Chain A
Amino acid sequence: MKIALKAVAHRPPVILLFLLVLAVLAFASVGRMVNRFHQQEEALARHLYERGMKAQSEGHAEAALGAFRAALSYSHDNFQYQLSLARALRDSGRTAEAETYLIRLWERTPQEGAVNLALGRLFVRQRVFDKAIQYYHNAIYGVWPSDAETKRRDVQLELIEFLLQHGAYPQAQAELIGMASASAIDPSLRLRYADLFMRAQDYGHALAQYQQTLRTDIHNQGALLGAGQASFQLGRFRTAQTYLQEAVHVDPQNASAKRLLETAGQVLASDPSAPSISDAERNRRLRAAFLGAGDRLDGCAQSRGIDLSGQSSSHDLPSDDLPRLKAAWQEMKPKLPKLSGSHSDSRDQHLPDELMSLVYGIEQQTELVCGSPEGPDQALLLLSQDRAGVER
């Protein structure tokens, strides 16, 4: 009987069944052990991770890297640890390794906003701008576990900062227009958008954002100053003057507002085409502009050692035009008394325009040769840039 049982026990199907049962039991035992081991590893990894975070916050980059690495060696798949290590690597300049890490994370979770953001920042460091923008966009449209709206907005603002720093104004403007079109925006955020529009040289949108801010907070110093600056840049000196006066009123210590206000005032006081001034005042402004432009021309030529009496054969350089402008100015000067003629027949109807065209030409050309002017010449130069929009 015993022999027969043993013979049955040695039949291949019985042996295989026995091995199968044994394997299942061994699997269960090892599984429990591995689970316990993993739990202990997780605890150890957490401890090391916290040590790494502490080291990072204290500025010990190498210690932080070591701790993050050790944490990951005990918790290989932990997304947060991997991301922290990748960020630490990136921030410590080990971009190649950071890229390997992040790309592997990205392959696992391509939709994850944090990974895309980290990759975007990495490529910014590596100056691979196309990829940086691509990953920033991925991050903006990616998945964020909590407070998604704020995080997406912060990423977009970071992208805009990056674009502005690299002179990609049209792209920055496009991003900003999208962001600013939302209806319910916090005034402080709108003010930030407006500032960014200013930096992106989109003064029209900047002014609109400042104005919207002022609708909710009429005395907002930043918005007043910004609106004044935006109007100024748009050549709307009357509007700029209004906002800047208010800004200086709110904050009399603001030197830049004062300076800008002064310039705007000079522009408005120099404009001979202002609608509500008398003929005498207009003529005075014309004469002053003409004489001032002549002085500016002489001063510029003298500072650059240019002989205004000589004839230039070429017009390749801005300075080559100065003798021609001087000749035109001298030719025009005898006509100056005609401005004050009492009879219409003695007045040349086109003289004011001719005078101002020459004045604007001189101001623009001398700016190219001698740099930006100050005072009345700056006002004339600003006038030359947008003759029609001054009073808007």
Chain B
Amino acid sequence: MTHAFESTAPKPTLESQEGEDGSAANIESRYWFTLSNTREERFFLLLAVFIGVFSGLAVVCFRLAIDWTKIWLIGPVPEPHSWRLIVAPAVTSLVVAFLVIHVFPLVRGSGVNQTKAALYIYNGYIPFRTAVGKFITAALAIGSGQSLGPEDPALQIGASLASALGRRLDLSRERLRLLAPVGAAAGLAAAFNAPISAVLFVIEEVIGRWSAGILGSVVLSAVSSVVVVRWFLGAEPLFRIPAVGLVQPAELLAYATLGIVGAFAAVVFAKAIAYLRPRLRAWPHWTRYFQPLLAAVGIGLIGFLGAPQVMGAGYEYIDQAMHDQFTWKMLAILALLKIVATTLSFVTGTPGGMFAPTLFVGAMLGGAIGGLERHFYPALIGSTGTYALVGMGVLFAGFLRAPMTSVFMVLEVSGNYSIIVPVIVANTLAYVTSRALQTTPIFDILTRQDGLDLPSLEEQREQTVLRVEDAMKAAPTPILNGGDSVDQALQSMQDLPGDFLVRLHPSGWRSVTADTLKRLVGEGKGEMTLGSALVTPVLPYLHPDHTLETALRYVYQVPFVPVVHRADFGQLEGVISRDEVLEKYRMAQRT
């Protein structure tokens, strides 16, 4: 066990950090790596708490900035038929476009992919200027009524702050790379007031893998940021949750319908963005000053003509939808208009996130379907609030394609586990249907449109995993025992070529050739047992369910690696060598 299962995480080396001049920074860098691993990890955890605190403070300011911008620009209660709803977003969009083009070019879009790119491409580097720019431009855009949300920008602000802090402390490249998701989780948790969902989202969408090394830091930063936000802004959820629950098992059919319809809506939403975004970006460069204006006027018109609900993040209207304040027809119209408005805002490069619009569309769609179903089956269907709540999860699963986050988000926001079955049914159907209708998730589409190729957890999940059992072959016979004498072993091998396995007690394996045994006999060790006579190192071993990637680490060191039963390490299932592994990969490539 000792060989095969040692941590393979790359360790920072002194050479990688030390400069040539012996400057203070390098003295400091040297200091970090004289710290023991445990102390460094402990320091990193404390740092995560501070990142959470600072991100939380930044998000508090961000939320205040959005609120005040909204009050000043479109008024505390946006009312239809007010020219302000068109003029204010239009003028603000020009300011935002100027800032994005000339001052903060990295703040376009939501911020999720930029954070992911920082992790995978730029070694965790996100300029501090990005945080400042995102703060200002997103606050102006969302506050002026652009149909975008504050969560993704908050995620990027958190990541940017963490990155800046890490650079200031001259952390290692590896640690610096990990700080971006730590900050991202803090920012998202603070904006969404939901630490579990934030952690899951960052793992599902930003990091793309579960890693014990980073999980603790991500959780600590998320929790500390939420504590800060609650300290200043109160523990109230983003919307009030009415009494929710499953009326009867037959109602699951209604939720299944919601899941499928939600998936179609999510695909329409994603395809609209995927189609329009590159086309607008292909327009002449000067049009970028006016593209956000186009979105602002469109959204302003929607508000002016009677649906100001689609302007801004729209959490207050999600709240109202959950409390039966709209008819199902109105809910359906709002869902449709929000898709249009958000598509306009997003494809024109206006800084802002897609979380809130996704939840908005989901809540409206859920409420509409719940209302419609209740119209026909009044005894069967529960409250509109339950459908709106489940609908949010459905769009989250179908559009953002984060199925785990979608389930936990609904549970965390509602604080009610009684709807877990409807949530799982609807979200799973939405996710599966959406995947069938559109293979690539929206975030991956956006990164590819930006010319980047970032790892996708969804793709990793769906990849066929090659395992040792697919490539191993039968072990060469005979199998020798550690208790056999060298003479006995040599006799049983009968001058056969190649390596043979020796089973040691209580467990462990070594390899031996006939030549080695002959040499031992020549040295007068023929009476000795194999266990005591052999000085070759113990072989690493694998289990049949290990991946070939794991096997690759060991097959280069030894002629073959024994594959043993998990319950009995002395029971040999087969052996695997480099040739079998490579051949299996070649076959997989061909198929």
Contact = CB atoms under 8 A, between A and B. Distances in A.
Q: Which of A3, A10, A20 has the most CB of B within 10 A?
A: A10
A74 B77 CA distance: 11
Given A70-B77, A76-B234, A94 B324 contact: yes
A79 interface: no
B5 interface: no
Nearest to A51: B77
Nearest to A73: B316
A312 interface: no
Contacts of A10: 24, 27-28, 31, 169-170
B232 interface: yes
Interface stretch (B46-54, B128-136, B409-417, B519-527): B46-54
Contacts of A73: 76, 316
Contacts of A27: 57
A7 B60 contact: no
B68 interface: yes
B57 A48 contact: no
Interface in B37-89: 39, 43, 46-47, 50, 53-54, 57, 60-61, 64, 67-68, 71, 76-77
A298 B31 CA distance: 121
B232 to A, nearest CB: 5
Interface residues on A, range: 35 or more
A30 B61 contact: yes
Interface stretch (B236-244, B478-486, B487-495, B582-590): B236-244
Given A94-B325, A97-B325, A7 B28 contact: yes
Interface residues of B, number: 37
B57 A26 contact: yes
Given A66-B77, A70-B76, A104-B240, A30 B232 contact: yes
A374 interface: no
B383 interface: yes
Given A15-B169, A34-B64, A97-B323, A44 B76 contact: yes
Contacts of A11: 31
A44 B71 contact: yes
Contacts of B43: 12, 16
A67 B79 CA distance: 11
Contacts of A2: 24
Contacts of B233: 34
A93 B248 CA distance: 27
B35 interface: yes
Interface string A1-23: 01100110011100110011001
B232 A31 contact: yes
A288 interface: no
Give chain B's interface secondary structure class: helix
A41 B234 CA distance: 14
A34 B54 contact: no
Interface in A333-388: none
B31 A96 contact: no
A77 B234 contact: yes
Contacts of B31: 7, 10-11
A71 to B, nearest CB: 9
Interface string A61-79: 0000011011001101100
A15 B24 CA distance: 15
Interface string B105-132: 0000000000000000000000000000
A11 B325 CA distance: 58
Contact of B243 (A30, A74, A100): A100
A16 B61 CA distance: 23
Contacts of B54: 23, 26
Given A12-B43, A96-B242, A33 B28 contact: no
B77 A67 contact: yes
Nearest to B383: A96
Nearest to B46: A16
A347 to B, nearest CB: 75
Given A27-B57, A100-B243, A69 B323 contact: no
B50 A69 contact: no
Nearest to B78: A70
B35 A30 contact: no
Contacts of A6: 24, 27-28
A73 B312 CA distance: 14
Contacts of B169: 10, 15
B323 A34 contact: no
B227 to A, nearest CB: 12
A158 B40 CA distance: 69
A86 to B, nearest CB: 11
B226 to A, nearest CB: 15
Contacts of A67: 77
Contact of B236 (A31, A66, A76): A76
A3 B25 CA distance: 9
A216 B366 CA distance: 66
Contacts of B236: 76-77
20 contacts: A2-B24, A3-B23, A3-B24, A7-B28, A10-B24, A10-B27, A11-B31, A30-B232, A37-B68, A41-B67, A48-B76, A48-B77, A69-B316, A70-B76, A70-B77, A74-B76, A76-B234, A76-B236, A77-B234, A101-B240
The 5 tightest CB contacts between A and B, nearest first, are A97-B323, A10-B28, A6-B24, A70-B77, A19-B50
Given A6-B24, A34-B64, 9 more contacts: A2-B24, A10-B170, A16-B43, A16-B50, A70-B77, A94-B324, A96-B242, A100-B323, A101-B240
Interface of A: 2-3, 6-7, 10-12, 15-16, 19-20, 23, 26-27, 30-31, 33-34, 37, 41, 44, 48, 66-67, 69-70, 73-74, 76-77, 94, 96-97, 100-101, 104
